[in-house]
Each structure stands twice: as C-alpha cells, then as structure tokens.
Amino acid sequence: MIYALLLFAGGMSCPVLTTPSVRGAMGEVTVTRVAKEAGYECQFKSAEIELMVAVSKLAGPERFGKLADDECAGGRDVAKLKAIGNEARACSSGTNGAMAEKVVGRVRNQAFVIRLTSSDKLASAKDLRSKVTGLAEQVAGNLF
C-alpha cells in the first residue's frame, strides 16, 4: 500500500531507484510493477526498453556465486565490474530480436539483479551495458 501511495505521489517508485533516475537512462517511463515478496522487484517500461530491478536477501555471501552463475548462464561478454557493490558482474543476452544487458551484484547480504532489455534494432550492446552499469551503481549505493 505504501508503494502505491509513493507511486501516485510522484515520489520514489522503487526502493533503490527513483523514477527520474530511470528516466535518465530510458527516457519517459511508466512503472509497471513494484512488488514486495522475499525482497522486491521493480519494473519500468518505455517505448522500446524494459528495466527490471530485483533485490533479495542472501542466506550468506557464499550463496552469491551460484546466483550470479545462474543469472548469466548462457550469456556472453561476461565481465567483472569494479566499485559496484561486491562481486558484481555484467553479461549480455538476447532472444526474439531483443537485446538484454544484465548486472548481478551483492551488497552485504543482499543480492541485486538489473536487466535492461531493448527491442530497438538500432540500440548498441555497448550503450545498453553503459546504461545498466550506471543504474547498478545507483542501486548498489542505495543498498549500502
């Protein structure tokens, strides 16, 4: 209920990303979902880009490796990222004509997954990687 009130009040739409921050990466967006379960998941959509941010608790930091491996399984261009939480990595994937860039990271006992998917055939993987990495920096900073 609080999330819904914040959405309609124009405040923070996601606990770790504000709508203006997302607009900086995606342009005009709509918040399509903010759900709180064992953690939370936020989804944003623009005309050709979708963003998903999920945060969950880890039973222990040693569990992160399996989560990161699972999230980037089958992906390409897997790269370790520095100064974004702990053990963050990025990977590329895509299906059905869509391109996706993902960052998986950890801050203390919280894991986060950020996926930016574009159906824009003119979008470059490098540009999407840059955007998702910038958003990951903000998420990790807000989780500290």
119 close to 97: Cβ distance less than 8 angstroms: yes
Chunked into runs of 10 residues, the chain (144 residues) has average pLDDT values of 38 74 82 76 89 88 82 85 88 81 91 90 83 91 86
H or E element, residue 74: none
DSSP line for 36-69:
ESSEEEEEEE-SSEEEEEEEEE-SSGGGHHHHHH
The yes/no answer on whether domain 2-143 falls in CATH 3.30.750.24 is no
State residue 51's pLDDT score: 92
Specify the pTM: 0.82
pLDDT tens, 54-81?
Answer: 999 888 777 888 888 888 888 788 888 9
55 close to 110: Cβ distance less than 8 angstroms: yes
State residue 53's pLDDT score: 93
